[in-house]
């Protein structure tokens, strides 16, 4: 299959892409303030069943490092939240989906969020930023799509590279789906790597499973890190944190909230494993459900009806049969993605589920972002083991 050269992306394609931003300059500035009273140190894992409690997660490292970042294709903030906890202040978060932008603004009113086309972003306005990060659209490389790669109008790697060239960040972090690792995309990976090498960056690709960093689902992500040679010499991928929490332990309090007598058995016998990868679908294809047929079958084995998403209060109750299947709520899906319960999602159910299902798990972003921070600052140690994967909060019950 012929491969288009990097940079040959139709201008209009970015207006139809599920993420991006409009033209900005530095004049608007941004606020670097964060939630008051936060601890300035990375916290150790603590909480229910080894899962970090809400206060501990929110107290992870924030802006004490002085490091700044620009993120494209920010979605509902999974990667942005993880990078914030790793010590990066966001100079800019860019996204085209209105529901995702509303979610970002609702959770972080001080962040500079712009809604629009990524092609309009001027990288020179953020010259010298510490980190440029983003989860560029995955459909060009997803096994669920046609895998057109560079020939897909939604491919935004060329725009990411343009921004790197203009902003000259100290570090680059771009993530995508496992499909980008396939041999058919070897030439394209070489083009991306070659472009970064020409700009003076060393590069590492790594396939990471989210379950290795405390997330109760597999969710493989292919992550590219680029750093200047001196910083790259200090970079090490974060070590896995060990056995991930099961879906049953992660969701048990929510599932049992209405007195379902089958909740304990569901946790211990049916949902005693990690989940398959949650998907959010797109505006054109896919509604509020748990993915393709194979994924739905895996969820059914865990006692979950993957054909849809439940309304907030529609969870098993006292009259529900002990062996009944039930549907996940939005909050349950967010927990499986590694979001803290304090993170609110805006919009109607289908649109909100899309932002949840397409998110980059915050604990993975925290782990990789922490590794990048250590490379940039010369810190020693590896606090990947303190990543906070899922947060339990009783006020989330029913959401």
Predicted confidence at residue 288, as pLDDT, reads: 84
Same domain, 84 and 134: yes
Work out the burial of residue 186: count CB atoms within 10 Å of its CB; fewer than 13 is exposed, 13-18 middle, 19 or more buried.
Answer: exposed
Tell me whether residue 236 is exposed, middle or buried, using C-beta atoms within 10 angstroms of its C-beta: 0 to 12, 13 to 18, 19 or more. exposed
Domains: count for the chain: 2
**At residue 11, does pLDDT exceed 50?**
no
The reply to whether 337 and 256 lie within a common domain is yes
Question: Does residue 8 belong to any structural domain of this protein?
Answer: no
CA 26 to each of CA 29, 91, 112, 167, 169: distance values in angstroms, whole numbers, following the listed order? 6, 9, 11, 12, 15
pLDDT tens digits along 339-395: 999 999 999 999 999 999 999 999 999 999 999 999 999 987 765 544 444 444 434
Does the structure show a pLDDT above 80 at 170? Answer: yes
Assess whether pLDDT exceeds 90 at residue 172: yes
Alpha-carbon distance of 11 to 110, in angstroms, equals 31
Q: Which residues, in sequence order, are CB contacts of 111 under 8 Å at separation 6+?
A: 30, 31, 80, 90, 93, 104, 105
Query: What's the pLDDT band for 47 if we cut at 50, 70, 90?
Result: very low
Closest CA to 115 of 103, 136, 133, 101: 101
* 200: CATH: 3.40.50.150
For 128, the token pair is 């010298």
Q: What is residue 184's predicted lDDT score, i.e. its pLDDT? A: 84
Cα 133 to Cα 69: distance, rounded to the nearest angstrom: 7
Same domain, 372 and 297: no
The pLDDT confidence band at residue 177, using thresholds 50, 70 and 90, is confident
pLDDT in tens, 258-271: 999 999 999 999 99
Could you tell me if 237 and 251 lie in one domain? no
21 pLDDT more than 70: no
Of these residues, 17, 19, 73, 138, which one is catalytic?
Answer: 138
Q: Is residue 279 domain-shared with residue 372, that is, in the same domain?
A: no
Please tell me whether residue 191 adopts helix, strand or coil conformation: helix
Percent of the chain with pLDDT over 90: 62
Tens digit of each residue's pLDDT (9 = 90 or more) over 185-240: 888 888 899 999 999 999 999 999 999 999 999 999 999 999 999 999 999 999 99
Residue 63's pLDDT is what? Answer: 54
138 catalytically annotated: yes
Asked whether residue 4 is domain-assigned, the answer is no
User: What is the tens place of the pLDDT at every residue in 123-132?
Assistant: 999 999 999 9
Is residue 104 domain-shared with residue 208, that is, in the same domain?
Answer: yes
Whole domain around residue 92: which residue ranges?
Answer: 13-26+44-241+361-384
């Amino acid at each position: 299959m012929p491969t288009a050269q990097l940079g040959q992306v139709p201008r209009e394609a970015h207006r139809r892409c599920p993420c991006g931003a409009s033209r900005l300059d530095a004049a608007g500035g941004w606020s670097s303030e964060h939630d008051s009273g936060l601890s300035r140190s990375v916290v150790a894992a603590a909480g229910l069943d080894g899962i970090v409690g809400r206060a501990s997660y929110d107290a992870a490292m924030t802006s004490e490092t002085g490091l700044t970042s620009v993120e494209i294709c920010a979605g509902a903030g999974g990667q942005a939240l993880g990078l914030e906890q790793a010590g990066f202040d966001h100079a800019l978060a860019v996204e085209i989906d209105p529901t995702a932008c509303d979610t970002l603004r609702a959770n972080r009113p001080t962040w500079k969020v712009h809604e629009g086309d990524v092609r309009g972003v001027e990288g020179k306005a953020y010259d010298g930023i510490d980190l440029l990060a983003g989860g560029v659209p995955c459909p060009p490389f997803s096994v669920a799509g046609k895998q057109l790669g560079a020939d897909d109008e939604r491919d935004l790697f060329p725009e990411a590279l343009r921004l790197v060239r203009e902003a000259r960040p100290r570090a680059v972090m771009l993530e995508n789906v496992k499909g980008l690792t396939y041999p058919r995309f070897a030439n394209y990976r070489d083009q991306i790597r070659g472009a970064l090498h020409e700009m003076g960056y060393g590069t590492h690709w790594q396939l990471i499973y989210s379950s290795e960093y405390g997330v109760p689902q597999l969710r493989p992500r292919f992550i590219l890190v680029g750093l200047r040679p001196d910083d790259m010499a200090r970079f090490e991928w974060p070590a896995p944190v060990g056995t991930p929490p099961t879906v049953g332990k992660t969701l048990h309090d929510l599932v049992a909230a209405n007195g379902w007598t089958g909740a304990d058995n569901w946790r211990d016998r049916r949902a005693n494993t990690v989940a398959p990868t949650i998907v959010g679908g797109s505006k054109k294809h896919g509604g509020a459900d748990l993915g393709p047929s194979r994924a739905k079958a895996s969820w059914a084995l865990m006692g979950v009806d993957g054909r849809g998403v439940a309304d907030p209060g529609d969870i098993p109750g006292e009259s529900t049969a002990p062996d009944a299947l039930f549907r996940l709520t939005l909050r349950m899906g967010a927990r499986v993605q590694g979001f803290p319960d304090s993170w609110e999602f805006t919009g109607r159910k289908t649109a909100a589920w899309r932002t949840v299902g397409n998110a980059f798990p915050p604990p993975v972003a925290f782990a990789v972002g922490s590794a990048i921070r250590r490379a940039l600052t010369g810190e020693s140690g590896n606090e990947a083991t303190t990543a906070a994967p899922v947060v339990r909060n009783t006020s989330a019950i029913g959401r």
